[in-house]
Amino acid sequence: MGGFYICPAVCLAVTLLLAVIIPSQADEPDWVDYQNLSLDILSHLIRFDTTNPPGNELPLMKYLSRRLKKEGVHCEIFKSDLNRANLIARCKGDGSQGAFMIAAHADVVSVEGQKWNYPPFEAVIDDGYIYGRGAMDDKGMLALGAAVLIMLKREKIPLSGDVILLVTADEEAGGGKGIQWMLRRHPDKLKADFALNEGGRIYMNSDTVQYAGIATNEKVTYNARLTASGHPGHSSVPNEYNAVYRLAGALKALEEAEMPGHLIPPAREFFAGLAPFEPNIRYDPVRDEVTTSIRRYNAMTKDTFIPTMLQASVKNNILPEKAEAVINCRLLPDSDPEVFFQYLREIINEDSILQLDYIRRREPQMPTSPTTSDLYLAIRETVSRFWPNALCLPSISTGSTDSGKLRKAGIPTYGLLPFPLSSEDSGRMHGPDERLKIEDYYTGLRFLYQLTIEIAAASEKE
C-alpha cells in the first residue's frame, strides 16, 4: 500500500507549484482526496472484464455514468450493439470558446496465453503499483478524465467551452462499434475544437522525465493473410508439396528482408530534437536519416510487418491443404499500401501456390494535427511547468488509435498519456502484468487537471 503515502515535502512542493500555476483559484484542491478518488475509479474500471472480443463495455459505461451523474456531470450512453456502448460526459462552458475533448477507450486486449503474476481483472496494488489489464491501455487515462470532470464540478471551475469525456468501445478491434459508429450516428455529439487521446508518451529515463512525445499523427494498420497451398494426405507418407514448409520459407524471407525507411514531418522534428540528448539515436539532416538500435524509434521511421497468427492442419496426422499466417502491418501515414504489399510479394516470390492478400480500402491520407493549435501549445506549457528540463516534441504513434478517425473527421487530436512511463512499464502494454506506478498516476491527475484549466477555464481566457 506504499503508493498511498505521499511525503509531506512533496505535498508542500505541489501546493506551491499549483499556487503559481492556477492563481485564479482561491483554494487549492484537496489533492490527497482527489488522488484517492481517481485511484478508486481506476480500480473499479479494471475490475470490469472488457476483453475485446466480445468487449462487453456496457456494464462499465453504466457504472461510470452513475458515478459521474452523482457528481452533477451530464452523461449519455449510446448503445452500438448488445452489451456494446459508448459514453459522452460533459461539463458545460459559457460558449465563448469551443469544446475540449478528452478521449479514452474502455475495451482491452485479451490476456489469453499470458502468464500473469497478478490476477488481470482484480486491480491488485503491490509495492506502489496497480496491476491489471487496461491500467495503461487505456483505463488509466479514462479514470483520470472522469476524475478531472468531477474536479471541475466540485471546484466550481468556470469554463469558457465545454469539457467532454468521450469513452469508446471497440478501439482494440478498429472502432466499428465505437468511434466509427459514433461518428456515423452521432457526429453532433463529438463537435470539439481539439481532442486529447492516448498515443504519445511522457517518457522517463532513470526516474527523470526526459521528454514528452506528443503524437500528431499515427501509423495505419493492415492485416494481410499469407497462404501457402499443398497436397493434403496422411502424414505417415510425407510429400514434397508441404504447405507448412512453403509458408515457413516465406516467413523466413520476410524476417530477413530490409524495409526502407523515410521520415514524415513530426518524426523528423522528433528525432532532430531528441538526437542531441540521446546517444542511441543518430540523425543525419543531410540524408534525412535516423540510425538507432532502439526498436520503438525504428518503428517510427519505416513501415513494419510481423507474423502474429498461424494456422495449418486440424489434426496432427493430416497433411494440410493450406497453411496460413496473419501478417500485422503498420504503415506510415503517407505510405501507399499498393506499393508496400507489392514489395512484400516480391520478397516472398508470390506465385500460384503462395499468395498474399489484404483488404483494400480507399482512405484519404492521414492528416497531421498542427503544432500551432491552442491545445498543442497548452500541452507544451504544462509540460514545461511540471518538468522544466524535459523536451517537448511532436511525434507519431506506432499503434493505431481512435485519434486517426477523429483527425479525419476534422478534429485536431493529440496523443499523450498524461502520466510518466518508464520504458520497462511501457513495454508491458498488451503483455502480462500490465501496471501503473501509483505515484506517476497521481502526477498524471495533476497534469491533466492543469492542462484542462489551461485550455478551458474561463478565468484563463480573460
User: For 208-221, what is the HEC assignment?
Assistant: EEEEEEEEEEECEE
User: Is 107 annotated as catalytic?
Assistant: yes
> DSSP string spanning 162-228?
-EEEEEES-GGGTSTTTHHHHHHH-GGGG--SEEEESS-EEEEETTEEEEEEEEEEE-EEEEEEEEE
pLDDT score of 131 more than 90: yes
- For residue 51, the surrounding DSSP H or E stretch is none
Degrees, nearest 5: CA angle 264-266-272: 100
First to last CA, the chain: 43
Strand partners, 227: 324, 355
8 Å CB contact between 344 and 307: no
Assigned C-alpha cell, 7: 511525503
For residue 435, count CB atoms less than 10 angstroms from its CB and return exposed for 0-12, middle for 13-18, buried for 19 or more.
buried
Measured distance CA(105)–CA(402) in Å, rounded:
8
The Cβ of residue 304 has, within 10 Å, a number of other Cβ atoms equal to: 17
What pLDDT shows up at residue 363? 73
Catalytic one of 171, 193, 278, 434: 171
Measured distance CA(115)–CA(379) in Å, rounded:
37
pLDDT in tens, 203-223: 999 889 999 999 999 999 999
pLDDT score of 111 more than 50: yes
pLDDT score of 393 more than 70: yes
What pLDDT shows up at residue 366? 86
What pLDDT shows up at residue 459? 63
pLDDT in tens, 302-339: 999 999 999 999 999 999 999 999 999 999 999 999 99
Q: Residue 302: phi, psi to the nearest 5?
A: -155, 160
What pLDDT shows up at residue 15? 44
Percent of the chain at pLDDT > 70 equals 94
Catalytic one of 57, 107, 172, 433: 107
Task: Count how many Cα atoms sit within 13 Å of the Cα of residue 199 in the half-sphere of its side chain.
Answer: 29
pLDDT in tens, 62-107: 999 999 999 999 999 999 999 999 999 999 999 999 999 999 999 9
Measured distance CA(406)–CA(390) in Å, rounded:
28
Measured distance CA(443)–CA(355) in Å, rounded:
50
pLDDT in tens, 396-405: 999 999 999 9
Which residue segments constitute the domains of the chain, with CATH numbers given? 2-217+368-460 (3.40.630.10), 220-254+303-331+334-363 (3.30.70.360), 260-302 (no CATH)
- For residue 236, the surrounding DSSP H or E stretch is none
pLDDT band (50, 70, 90) for residue 361 = confident
What pLDDT shows up at residue 19? 42
- pTM across the whole model: 0.91
- Measured in whole angstroms, how far is the alpha carbon of residue 194 from the centre of its chain? 17
Q: Are strands 201-205 and 74-81 parallel, antiparallel or unpaired?
A: unpaired
8 Å CB contact between 271 and 283: yes
User: Is 424 annotated as catalytic?
Assistant: no
pLDDT band (50, 70, 90) for residue 10 = very low
pLDDT score of 251 more than 70: yes
Strand partners, 216: none
What pLDDT shows up at residue 364? 74
CA distances from 285 to 108, 263, 281, 395, 406 (A): 39, 11, 13, 17, 32
Cell 480500402 belongs to which residue? 361
CA proximity to 200, closest of 211, 209, 184, 186 = 211
Measured distance CA(57)–CA(41) in Å, rounded:
15
CA proximity to 201, closest of 397, 449, 417, 385 = 417
The Cβ of residue 398 has, within 10 Å, a number of other Cβ atoms equal to: 18
8 Å CB contact between 419 and 425: no
Assigned C-alpha cell, 140: 488509466
8 Å CB contact between 403 and 397: yes
What pLDDT shows up at residue 365? 81
What pLDDT shows up at residue 461? 38
Read off the pLDDT of each residue in 418-436 and give the average, rounded to a whole number: 97
Q: CA torsion, points 391, 396, 397, 403, in degrees to nearest 10?
A: 110
> What's the one-letter identity of residue 103?
A
Name residues whose C-beta falls within 8 Å of residue 405's C-beta, 6 or more positions apart in sequence.
175, 179, 180, 183
What pLDDT shows up at residue 457? 96
